[in-house]
Structure formats: C-alpha cells, structure tokens
Amino acid sequence: MKAVVLGGTKGMGRALSRALAADGHDVWLLGRNAEDLARSVEDLKARSPSVKVGAAPCDLESPASFGPALDAADAGLGGFDTVAVTAALFGTQDQLEADAALLQRLLTVDFAHTVLFCEAVRTRLLSRGGGRLVVFSSVAGERGRKPVVLYGAAKAGLTAYCEGLDHRYRAAGLVTVCVKPGFVKTGMTAGLKAPPFAGEPEQVAVDVLRAMKRGAPVVYTPAPWALVMAIIRMLPRFVMRRVGF
C-alpha cells in the first residue's frame, strides 16, 4: 500500500501510521501542525527506515487545504492507493450544549468537512481504478444515546455516508472501510472515566490494518464492542430512554 493518513500524528492515527510503516507500506502524513508532522515523520523513519515517509499540511477546518495536501501526497508517494481519515474533533455532551461555537465546529469538521475530504479522495482513487478509503467513525453513531447526542449525530451521518459509498462504488474498485472504535485511551478521551472494554491505540491499529487487508466494510474495535453494540441496537426505545449509557 501507499497510504495517506489524515490525523496520523496523534492517538489512533499515529498508531495506525506506525503499524502501516512497520508492515512495509509507504506512509504520507497529513495534519495541521507542522511541528507534529515533522516529529512524526522522523519517528516513522527511525522505526521503519526501509519505507518512504513524508508529510504535508492539511486541516479539516479548511477545505481549501484538501487539494494541495492530496497533490503533495501523490507527488511524494508516486501516487497513493489508500487513505485513512482518523482526524476529528470531540466534545462531551455538556461541553457541546454549553458552547454553540464548539458545537458548530464539531458538526462541521466531523461530518461536513470529513465528507468533503472523502469526496476529494474518492474522485482521485476512482480515476486510477480504485483503492481503499478508511474512515474512522464511532460506536457513538450507532444509536441516539443520552451521553453523546450531538457527537453521536455527527458520527451517525458519517457512518451512513460510508455505507452508501461502499454500496455505490465497491464494484468500481473503491473499498470503503468504516471504523467504529469504542472508548479508546487517547488524548481525546483524557480525563473521562474509562468504561469496560476500553482500548489502546495500538490494538486499534492492529484491528484496522487487518480489516484494510480483508476489505471489511465495517470494523468494531476493540472487538468486544461489536457485541456491545449489537445488544444496544436491539434495545427498545423505551429502555434507551431510561438508561444512561
């Protein structure tokens, strides 16, 4: 693979970038912080000196950055065939209800701008016969739940987009993998109480890389979340109103 990772300097994105490079795949990092990108490139080069590594600026809050970033990745890798979108914003329900500006940013970045970025990727990959598009959504988008009404709504929209994209374009060669992490211990979740089955970024990376190779349309990670969410999907609405998870 020649893989582009948006958000590959932190958390699950960094772990996935390391896993890809360790597995022998060239990696091009996209992110908004130049210092983070430079440090991450050096980290990957030190860990996996035999693969090609590079980086370019890209900010999900600025769609104007998408085209130049993908151009740089194409030039640096000699054409890419895989893109993973791990970047996102997060806010607790209380934070989002209290801060309209933060809510607008999150809904825009986690849904609208992520879809715009994916559409730019889709066009490029289909023009060269296809490839892989790996998009990190969340189990928060599986059902409307009290603790994640707003964040979950953005992720639900992203999940629906990924499913539709896979139905529409897999026959044309575009394999869409929707990643649905449960609670993962990253900087994004720092300070929050970890529930049972909380995962580590490194395990998520292993699960996602395996799913990428299989072309699985959906992957829950850590694995127990597949069963947890299967149960939650079956609960009747009157039960969901009463529970607090």
Active-site pick, 151, 161, 169, 220: 151
Which amino acid is residue 212, in one-letter code? M
At 50 the three-state DSSP class reads coil
Computed on alpha carbons and rounded to an integer, the radius of gyration of the chain in Å comes to: 17
Burial 66-100 (b: 16+ CB within 10 A, else e): beebbebbbebbeebbbbbbbbbbbbeeeebeeee
Which one-letter DSSP state was computed for residue 194?
P
236 phi/psi in degrees, rounded to 5: -70, 160
Q: Which residues pair with 133 in a beta bridge?
A: 83, 176
Task: Please name which of 176, 63, 48, 36 lies closest in space to residue 117, comparing C-alpha atoms.
Answer: 63
151 is a catalytic site residue: yes
Residue 88's contacts (CB-CB under 8 Å, 6 or more residues apart) are: 7, 60, 109, 110, 114, 136, 188
Catalytic residues: 151
